[in-house]
C-alpha cells in the first residue's frame, strides 16, 4: 500500500480517519493562511477552502517524495462574507447572535498531492440552519461550550454541544466536520492507499 499523509494538525480530521481505520501519518504544513487569504481576497469563500487545501498539500508534498498528501480546509460563509476563527471567546456571543435564525455555509476543500503535483481534489458545501434560540440558551451554551468557541469558525463543535444550535442541516455529517469522507475514501482506494 502507498503511504498517506495528512497535512493538518486538526484533531477532528485525525479522529475521523482513525475511526475508519485509515493508516496515515501527520505532517503539518507551515502555510500561512492569513497571508494567502490577504493575497486572494477576491476569491469566494468556497474557492478559498480549496485554495487553502491545495496550498497545504503542495507544501508538505514537496518534502514527502512518493507519498499521497492530503490538504484539507473549511471556510464559513455568513451573509456572503468569509469569517475567520474568533481570537477570543468574548467575541462568541456577538457571532452567535448574528447567526441566530439564519443559515450559513460550510465549504470544504480537499486536495491530494503527490511529488508536488495535484492528483485529486474535491469541494463540498453544507448548509446549516441555526434555530432562533433563546437568550437563556445562549447564556448556558457560552458557559458550557469552552474550547469550541475559538477552535472553530462558527464557535461550535457540531459533533458535540454545538448540535443544539441547529434546527436543520443540509449536508453530509463528515463534510460538516471538515473532512468529506466518502469521496476521500474512494480516492484512497483508487490510489491504492487502502484496499478496494
On average, the pLDDT of the chain sits at 96
Angstrom distances, CA of residue 151 to CA of 39, 93, 132, 162? 24, 15, 23, 12
In this prediction, residues 7-14 reach a mean pLDDT of: 94
Q: Which of 18, 30, 47, 73 is catalytic?
A: 73
In this prediction, residues 81-87 reach a mean pLDDT of: 93
**pTM metric for this prediction:** 0.95
Closest CA to 183 of 58, 49, 72, 75: 72
* Domains within the chain, CATH numbers bracketed: 4-190 (3.90.950.10)
pLDDT at 1: 75
C-alpha cell at 183: 469521496
pLDDT digits (tens, 9 = 90+) for 21-74: 999 999 999 999 999 999 999 999 999 999 999 999 999 999 999 999 999 999
**Catalytic-residue membership of 135:** no
Amino acid at each position: 500500500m502507498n503511504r498517506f499523509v495528512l497535512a493538518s494538525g486538526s484533531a477532528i480530521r485525525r479522529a475521523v480517519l482513525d475511526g475508519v481505520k485509515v493508516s496515515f501519518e501527520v505532517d503539518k504544513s507551515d502555510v500561512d493562511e492569513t497571508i494567502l487569504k490577504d493575497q486572494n481576497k477576491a476569491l469566494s469563500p468556497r474557492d478559498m477552502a480549496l485554495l487553502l487545501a491545495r496550498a497545504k498539500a503542495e507544501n508538505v508534498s514537496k518534502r514527502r517524495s512518493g507519498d499521497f498528501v492530503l490538504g484539507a480546509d473549511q471556510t464559513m460563509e455568513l451573509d456572503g462574507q468569509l469569517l475567520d476563527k474568533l481570537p477570543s471567546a468574548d467575541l462568541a456571543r456577538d457571532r452567535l447572535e448574528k447567526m441566530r435564525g439564519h443559515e450559513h455555509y460550510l465549504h470544504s476543500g480537499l486536495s491530494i498531492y503527490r511529488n508536488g503535483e495535484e492528483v485529486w481534489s474535491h469541494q463540498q458545501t453544507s448548509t446549516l440552519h441555526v434555530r432562533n434560540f433563546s437568550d437563556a440558551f445562549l447564556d448556558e451554551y457560552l458557559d458550557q461550550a469552552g474550547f469550541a468557541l475559538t477552535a472553530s469558525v462558527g464557535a461550535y463543535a457540531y459533533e458535540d454541544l454545538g448540535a443544539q444550535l441547529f434546527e436543520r442541516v443540509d449536508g453530509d455529517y463528515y463534510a460538516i466536520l471538515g473532512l468529506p469522507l466518502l469521496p476521500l475514501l474512494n480516492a484512497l482506494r483508487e490510489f491504492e492507499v487502502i484496499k478496494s
